[in-house]
Structure 1
Amino acid sequence: MYRLARNTRAPEDVYAASLERLGLGYPLWCPEPDASGEPQIADVGLLHEGKFIRLLHLDTSAPEKKVTRFKPPFENIAPLPPNTVMVTRTDDRLSANHYCSHGVRSKDIRASLTVPVDASTSLNLQADYTCREAQGAALTLQTNADAEQTLPNKSLNSYILQNFSAWREYATEVLNLDVKAEDLVVVIGWVKTAPDWTVTAFGVDKHAKTSLSLGAKIASWVGVSLSGAFSTSIKTSSIQRRAPTHSHESQHLDGVVHRNQCVFMKRVRVKERPVFPRKIVAGAGYDDYSPWRRPAQDALEAAGRGVEDERQYAEDCWKEYISDGRIRDRLDITQDYIFEISTATVAVVSDDHVDILLCGQHIVDFASWLRTVQPRVEVDNHGVGSLDMGDIIRYQQEHRFTNPPITPADTAVWPAISRNGAGSLKDSQILLGPTGTKACPVAYKSVVFGDVEQMLINQSTSVSLSTDGKLLAAANRNTIIIWRLEDGLTVQRLERDGHTDTIRQIAFSPDGQHVVSGADDTLALVWDTKTGDVVHRLEGHEQAVYCAVFSPDGTQIATRSRNSELRMWSATSGELLYVITDLKSTESDNFLFSPDGSQLAARSDTSRKDTVVAVLDCRTGGRIATLRKQDICCMAFSPSGNRIATGSGDGSACVWDAASGKALLELKEHTALVWEVAFSPDGGEVATASGDGTVVTCNPHTGERRFTFRVESVRGWGKEQVQAMAYSPRNEFIACGAYDGCVRVWNRRTSAFVATFSGHTRPVGRVMFTPDGWDILSYGNDDVVRLWSVRDALRLS
């Protein structure tokens, strides 16, 4: 059987191959910036001995990031198309911790290494790791690491392919570098930390040494000496590096921690079809996978030569590669897979594509695994091949939500965890295109909560998302179901000794440990999410409890009944603190806490012509201010809590001073009722959603209109009423839910259309972003909640 040689080599290869399985990008053995500069998104460069070397920077609008080391610099950079590089902070922020590959653990074993820094000084570096596999790696961060990534899109790949030849020519002809096409990479993301990291590689070739630049010094790194209780479990040598400036004082300049050490990098890589095919299948014969006919096969058959001759032909072609024995980059393996199963002449792959496909799985033999999963390959008219993104996303969704495993660790945390009533994948669509009116449908499977065995969710206020975004709760008649969003499993049912009538509203406590519910049985109950027990029974309302909410600090609970009586309770003891009875309203559920929990705004409308919003002191129930305007329908606090925005039935909106009740600004942007109003996360923008089919964003200080997002019906019925709207808490998105059952997303900074999500069969009454800003939960009048991914839409666009 013909096999790929598996000899381990240099520490940078072992380190990268081991830690890239974390799904954070390509790990750099040398995170410190090269003399060519600090790695930036939109860099073109090459990887050499674990270090990234910048050759040029593509974004000419950021001259401070231009590469100036090489003479002459690359000047004729083709302009980037609009919205090609949209950089955003990601949810991949790493905390100060140990990050180890499979088989490497932090133990009480000590690995010491003396590192020569100069003629008179040396550092004694230590690490507490043990490796129980043939190879492994560990990264230790003393300081949190930040992450940035460009939003994925196909236009960036097109731009790279159009200009790649010019970059390669510059590297080879002008800089006189001996590089292949696949040696060049484009940076699309990074994770950076302060200069206080430690990297360790286990299983390196005992004869392998690498020369690394340490500022102005060159240090030769050698193996470590091992001692400790678990030393017998380590069978391979290891090499360790620490940051070039490893002192607490050096991290801080002007009180700021400077994070310029790139520990992980995400890349786009281009590779041309090799002259001879490579069958890099670890643990399988080279002829075990034959999805396409190898070159010269026809000639061999015509000459009457058999399989053994063909085998010898292949071995001769691959002899030089096999004897090298270097550990393969996952992008290289994926590109060879593309060539094997398609007619592509060029393969384009990114770390992002591979990470999506892996779904966080630990795969040792990635080459064989690829051929087992067999993701489809897309080849365009120019012979450019890439993994079919739609196929990858479907695989990822099915891996997460189709019969996910229930582990002992799961049952230890959630004893009632079950697949019964779990979220399930249902056919839907994403409409993609340059604008909403020119968007074309793409098949997509969204996760649906609430439609199993006709379990229909009561109403939009009976849906709640935990503050950390990990749990979704919804009421079905008099029962509350809690799901885990990462895999859709049902983790709890709150019903024992509970409500005897329909639940009207539920809400998580800020820490996610409790849920409060109000129901038609005049009760409000506080539940323990882990045990399913009722912790407090809040009794006293004489009519149905339409609203029940925790304060943002989790110390108080506010409830409001059908007769508009408002009660404030202690969340700790369940004790009644005070009662307010003078706020008469036909909409009992309309009140909200300020972000810091110090104030409560409650609507009172004895008549449509005399509507007020009372701003109350949460500690005493005393009135702070009164906002008075006809037919107020909705309201929202600013992030700072000092302003309140309201929307009215006449199509207008107002911004008020929360302390005085003074109207600061009136916005007249709509011709129909304003269903929802919201401030942006930074407070620098206010948005209104209306029945006239538009969402309008304005400056909350000057009233200047920024953008108008028009919602045209996907059914060709003209404009659609917009009943729900939300800002992304971390990214530049704004989403709305409309009467046609669709959720639409735009970039609020540029007004660019992102996607339309189609799946609900009735109007959408509520939309919520998850805390990371990438996923949207929408509740429809079809009584189900759907989960959508903005990231998936961008990957497919």
Structure 2
Amino acid sequence: MKHLLSLSLVFLLFACDVYSNKPVNYFQHAESGSLATAFSDDAAIGIVSSNDEGIVVWDLQYNQKIYQWNHQGQDDNANVIGLVNISPDKSHAVTADREAFAIWDLNTGEPIGFWRIDESSVRDIAVSNGGNGILVGRGNGKVLYFEHRTGRRIEFLGHQERINSVALSPNGLYALTGGNDYTAFLWNTKTGQIVYKFEHPSRVTKVVLDNQGRFAFTADSQKHARIWDLQTGQEISRLKYIQRQKIFSAARFSEDGTQLLTGSPDRHLTLWDVQSGAKIQDWKVHPNEKSLTKSAVVYAVAFMEDNQVISGSSSGWAEVWTVEED
């Protein structure tokens, strides 16, 4: 009987981690792998930073290059841009290395400006609609909110340690930031005042805001990945997974607010139910064949039409997956 129970448990654990590894479509955007990837909310535009071609903006529908960019003083062979982000309205993009960031107009492909961060390294970056607000998380625990058109800037000093992840509401009014101090803060970029404090038992590695202002997602370096109600500040659910440690490298809420799509450094792309935290479906992205470990970090995720989702990873591939219907 003990043997039967053990076998049943093993089968149950294995069944919970079953994944699909057959994308319905795929595109190679960086032959030697990418340093960073971002998708627009509607999966129409993608930005890929790589050593191959610098920073390339892609039309994901037709798999065509739209623009090719480089930061000031860099060429294709010296690209070190490890952070990219697209505004929710697809009008602007930001790109950053550890020391500087740039704002780009996605309608013209032209740069708006370059800014250097001298005090501490850039850890994460986000941009609001119209390119009006830029959020920069830094290694010294400070977060900069910057409006390039007016020159207004405010520093958020609520964190005590290094920032790992930042998110910005579409209107630029609210910021969500997470750091090594085991804390994520939702705060007002006009006043710097804290709206909610979300505490974790370990360092917060990923934060994401729902563009409709309904939810926040915060995840730490161990086993706690939580979805919060932004109207009340209360926890809605915790993602249910078996791993003792799980890092999230990308996340996005669906437009209707019922699902959360996440990516991880272990090649996993996963769809979750927002209200219960239950796993709906899991995929494994294409590994980097030139890597000794045959691994890949999922940098970007997005929902598409026709019940599909898309992933962009460090392997340099963008892959489209079908969500199975119940």
Q: Could you tell me the TM-score, scaled by structure 2's length?
A: 0.71
Kept in 1, the 8 Å contact 2:299–2:314? The answer is no
- Does 1:464 pair with 2:44? no
Residues 774 and 553 of structure 1, relative CA distance in 2, 3 Å threshold: farther
Residue number in structure 2 paired with 1:635: 207
Residue number in structure 2 paired with 1:766: 299
Q: Could you tell me how far 1:616 is from its partner in structure 2?
A: 0.7
Q: Which whole-Å deviations, capped at 9, do the CAs of 1:246-277 have from their partners, x for residues lacking one?
A: xxxxxxxxxxxxxxxxxxxxxxxxxxxxxxxx
* Aligned positions of 1:358-437 closer than 5 A: none
- Does 1:620 pair with 2:172? no
Q: Could you tell me how far 1:613 is from its partner in structure 2?
A: 0.8
2:218 to 646, 652, 675: 646
- Does 1:673 pair with 2:245? yes
Kept in 2, the 8 Å contact 1:674–1:689? The answer is no
Residue number in structure 2 paired with 1:516: 94
Q: Which whole-Å deviations, capped at 9, do the CAs of 1:751-791 have from their partners, x for residues lacking one?
A: xxxxxxxxx95234235235435554433343x02233639
- Does 1:446 pair with 2:23? no
- Does 1:544 pair with 2:121? yes
Residue number in structure 2 paired with 1:561: 138
Aligned mates of 2:94, 2:222 — CA distance in 1: 34
Residue number in structure 2 paired with 1:503: 81
Give the SS at the match of 1:621.
coil
Residues 637 and 674 of structure 1, relative CA distance in 2, 3 Å threshold: farther
Q: Could you tell me how far 1:592 is from its partner in structure 2?
A: 1.0
Residue number in structure 1 paired with 2:11: none
Q: Could you tell me how far 1:630 is from its partner in structure 2?
A: 0.8
Q: Could you tell me how far 1:480 is from its partner in structure 2?
A: 1.4
Residue number in structure 2 paired with 1:570: 147
Q: Which whole-Å deviations, capped at 9, do the CAs of 1:333-374 have from their partners, x for residues lacking one?
A: xxxxxxxxxxxxxxxxxxxxxxxxxxxxxxxxxxxxxxxxxx
Residue number in structure 2 paired with 1:193: none
Aligned mates of 2:104, 2:225 — CA distance in 1: 37
Aligned mates of 1:689, 1:507 — CA distance in 2: 16
Residue number in structure 1 paired with 2:159: 583
Residue number in structure 2 paired with 1:786: 318
Q: Could you tell me how far 1:481 is from its partner in structure 2?
A: 1.3
1:605 to 170, 173, 180: 180
- Does 1:534 pair with 2:66? no
Residues 436 and 674 of structure 1, relative CA distance in 2, 3 Å threshold: closer
Q: Could you tell me how far 1:504 is from its partner in structure 2?
A: 2.0
Kept in 2, the 8 Å contact 1:591–1:602? The answer is yes
Q: Could you tell me how far 1:449 is from its partner in structure 2?
A: 0.7
Q: Could you tell me the TM-score, scaled by structure 1's length?
A: 0.32
Kept in 2, the 8 Å contact 1:652–1:668? The answer is no
Give the SS at the match of 2:184.
strand
Question: Which structure: greater helix fraction?
Answer: 1
Which letter maps to 1:470? A
Residue number in structure 2 paired with 1:475: 49
Aligned mates of 1:546, 1:647 — CA distance in 2: 16
Q: Which whole-Å deviations, capped at 9, do the CAs of 1:86-117 have from their partners, x for residues lacking one?
A: xxxxxxxxxxxxxxxxxxxxxxxxxxxxxxxx
- Does 1:494 pair with 2:66? no
Q: Could you tell me how far 1:507 is from its partner in structure 2?
A: 1.9
In structure 2, runs of 5+ residues without a counterpart are 1-15
Residues 513 and 624 of structure 1, relative CA distance in 2, 3 Å threshold: closer
Give the SS at the match of 1:558.
strand
Give the SS at the match of 1:493.
strand
Kept in 2, the 8 Å contact 1:545–1:560? The answer is yes
Aligned mates of 1:616, 1:475 — CA distance in 2: 30
Give the SS at the match of 2:34.
coil
Residues 546 and 468 of structure 1, relative CA distance in 2, 3 Å threshold: same
Aligned mates of 1:681, 1:669 — CA distance in 2: 24
Residues 555 and 688 of structure 1, relative CA distance in 2, 3 Å threshold: closer
Aligned mates of 2:120, 2:26 — CA distance in 1: 38
In structure 1, runs of 5+ residues without a counterpart are 1-434, 710-733, 743-759
Q: Could you tell me how far 1:650 is from its partner in structure 2?
A: 4.3
Aligned identity (percent) is 14
Residues 612 and 533 of structure 1, relative CA distance in 2, 3 Å threshold: same
Which letter maps to 1:569? F
Q: Could you tell me how far 1:473 is from its partner in structure 2?
A: 1.5
* Structure of greater Rg: 1
Kept in 1, the 8 Å contact 2:269–2:311? The answer is no
Aligned mates of 1:534, 1:469 — CA distance in 2: 22
Give the SS at the match of 1:675.
coil
1:683 to 246, 249, 257: 257
Give the SS at the match of 2:187.
strand
Q: Which whole-Å deviations, capped at 9, do the CAs of 1:553-599 have from their partners, x for residues lacking one?
A: 6421111233333211115x16242122442444x341112355431
Residue number in structure 2 paired with 1:218: none
Which letter maps to 1:681? E
Kept in 1, the 8 Å contact 2:38–2:312? The answer is no
Residues 612 and 488 of structure 1, relative CA distance in 2, 3 Å threshold: same
Aligned pair count reads 297
Aligned mates of 2:71, 2:269 — CA distance in 1: 44
Kept in 2, the 8 Å contact 1:593–1:601? The answer is yes
Over the residues paired in the alignment, what is the CA RMSD in angstroms? 4.1
Give the SS at the match of 2:190.
coil
* Aligned positions of 1:106-255 closer than 5 A: none
Residue number in structure 2 paired with 1:257: none
Residue number in structure 1 paired with 2:102: 525
Kept in 1, the 8 Å contact 2:21–2:284? The answer is no
Residues 671 and 769 of structure 1, relative CA distance in 2, 3 Å threshold: closer
Residue number in structure 2 paired with 1:485: 60
Kept in 2, the 8 Å contact 1:736–1:767? The answer is no
Q: Could you tell me how far 1:663 is from its partner in structure 2?
A: 4.3
Residues 659 and 790 of structure 1, relative CA distance in 2, 3 Å threshold: closer
Residues 629 and 441 of structure 1, relative CA distance in 2, 3 Å threshold: closer
Kept in 2, the 8 Å contact 1:613–1:627? The answer is yes
Which letter maps to 1:626? K
Kept in 1, the 8 Å contact 2:91–2:129? The answer is no
Aligned mates of 1:529, 1:698 — CA distance in 2: 33
Q: Could you tell me how far 1:660 is from its partner in structure 2?
A: 6.0
Aligned mates of 2:72, 2:269 — CA distance in 1: 45
Q: Which whole-Å deviations, capped at 9, do the CAs of 1:291-324 have from their partners, x for residues lacking one?
A: xxxxxxxxxxxxxxxxxxxxxxxxxxxxxxxxxx
